[in-house]
Homo-oligomer: A and B are copies of this chain.
Amino acid sequence: MKIEIAIPIFDRFTALDAVGPYEVLSRLPGATVHFVAAEPGPKRTETRMLALTADLALDELTDPEVVVVPGGYGTRELARDEQILGWLRRAHETSLRTTSVCTGSLLLAAAGLLDGLEATTHWLAFDTLAEYGAVPVERRVVEHTEARIITAAGVSSGIDMALTLAAHIAGDEIAQAIQLGIEYDPQPPFDSGSTAKAPPGIVELVRGAAGTFA
């Protein structure tokens, strides 16, 4: 089976949102991951410290089997950009799964793909997601089989989402093999990865300095 996977990137995206799923999905037998953009070329992250290359223009890949939309501060501007929104609508007509990580879900919502659907995003962007017509829920990965949509929470959650997606596409054994290949046996030194688990002072610290930490 040939599986084309499109990851649209853009100015001020978050690198791990895109690279976590890339690292999982590029290992799917038969899959090719394409980084795409309105204009091909290097796209810089919101920190300005890193650029990833988009190899294809959006109109060179209009019917991928899988779409993974990363987040980042650039999504706010892109949510008003009819070129990317139109591309997302068209790609979703034929995709097996249309997915997002972090504030990438704002773009799916702005394209009208999440109207009235439960979805997730970075915990700091729940209100914005609701304004676009989705129903924010506090889960790490939110799947809709019939609507063929998966949204994931902030940044690192794309790895969990992509393993779930890999299992849908190629079965549990292949997904487990990929997990072992990337040695995804998480052992964070703290248990501070969600607002429910982090000490309240840490939540306030991040909320007050979102430009630094989130």
Contact = CB atoms under 8 A, between A and B. Distances in A.
This protein's copies in its complex: 2
Contact of A180 (B26, B47, B175, B192): B192
A146 interface: no
A10 to B, nearest CB: 15
A49 B23 contact: no
B194 A185 contact: yes
Nearest to A155: B182
Given A163-B188, A177-B202, 16 more contacts: A15-B22, A16-B182, A19-B19, A19-B20, A26-B47, A27-B212, A51-B55, A52-B52, A153-B185, A155-B183, A155-B184, A157-B185, A175-B190, A180-B195, A182-B193, A182-B214
Given A49-B26, A52-B51, A183 B190 contact: no
- Main SS at interface, chain A: mixed
A160 B190 CA distance: 9
A29 interface: yes
A186 to B, nearest CB: 4
Interface string A76-111: 000000000000000000000000001000000000
A160 B180 contact: no
Interface stretch (A32-40, A61-69, A126-134): A32-40
A182 B188 CA distance: 12
A193 B184 CA distance: 4
A213 B16 contact: no
B179 A188 contact: yes
A122 B180 CA distance: 10
A147 interface: no
Contacts of A149: none
B213 A180 contact: yes
Given A154-B182, A180-B194, A180-B198, A16 B20 contact: yes
Nearest to A197: B185
Interface in A127-180: 140-141, 153-157, 159-160, 163-164, 167, 172-173, 175-180
